[in-house]
């Protein structure tokens, strides 16, 4: 199995910051309570090692090379931002998105070639019975 483990990355922490900074704060606090971060690789090892004969587990950081205007914003719209945007109506949705867009653009600046780098962590686990 594999799990994204990017909850401590600026892309995700800035969502929390923007969610706390506006009239939508109370509504989005309900979303934040639903979301849970992925545990450490060691935690999953301890869980699975008592259930199977062999566990191979590792964490990898991918460096996604993204193109476009504020591509990390676009990336998170399909993942972590989705739950937040789904509960907001306009004009709050647009205002929240604008606050996040400004923050995430500053955190992930374009490289000299015009592309943006997004480090992204994943845990991989292979369990053999």
Mean pLDDT, consecutive 10-residue stretches, the chain (129 aa), reads 91 93 88 73 94 95 96 94 93 96 97 97 95
CATH code, 2-128: 1.10.150.290
Q: How much is the pLDDT for 35? A: 63
Q: What is the mean pLDDT of the chain?
A: 93
**Cβ-based neighbour number of residue 12 at 10 Å:** 19
Q: How much is the pLDDT for 70? A: 97
80: which 2 tokens? Answer: 């972590």
**Spatial separation of the C-alpha atoms in residues 56 and 48, rounded to whole Å:** 10
Percent of the chain with pLDDT over 70: 96
Residue with tokens 């109506």: 89
């Amino acid at each position: 199995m594999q799990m994204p483990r990017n909850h401590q990355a600026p892309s995700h922490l800035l969502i929390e910051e923007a969610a706390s900074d506006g009239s939508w704060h109370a509504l989005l606090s309900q979303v934040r309570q639903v979301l849970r971060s992925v545990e450490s690789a060691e935690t999953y090892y301890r869980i699975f090692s008592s259930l199977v004969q062999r566990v191979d587990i590792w964490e990898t950081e991918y460096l996604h090379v993204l193109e476009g205007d504020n591509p990390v914003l676009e990336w998170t719209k399909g993942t972590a931002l989705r739950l937040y945007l789904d509960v907001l109506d306009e004009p709050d949705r647009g205002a929240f998105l604008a606050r996040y867009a400004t923050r995430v653009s500053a955190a992930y600046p374009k490289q000299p070639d015009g592309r943006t780098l997004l480090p992204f962590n994943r845990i991989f686990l292979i369990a053999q019975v």
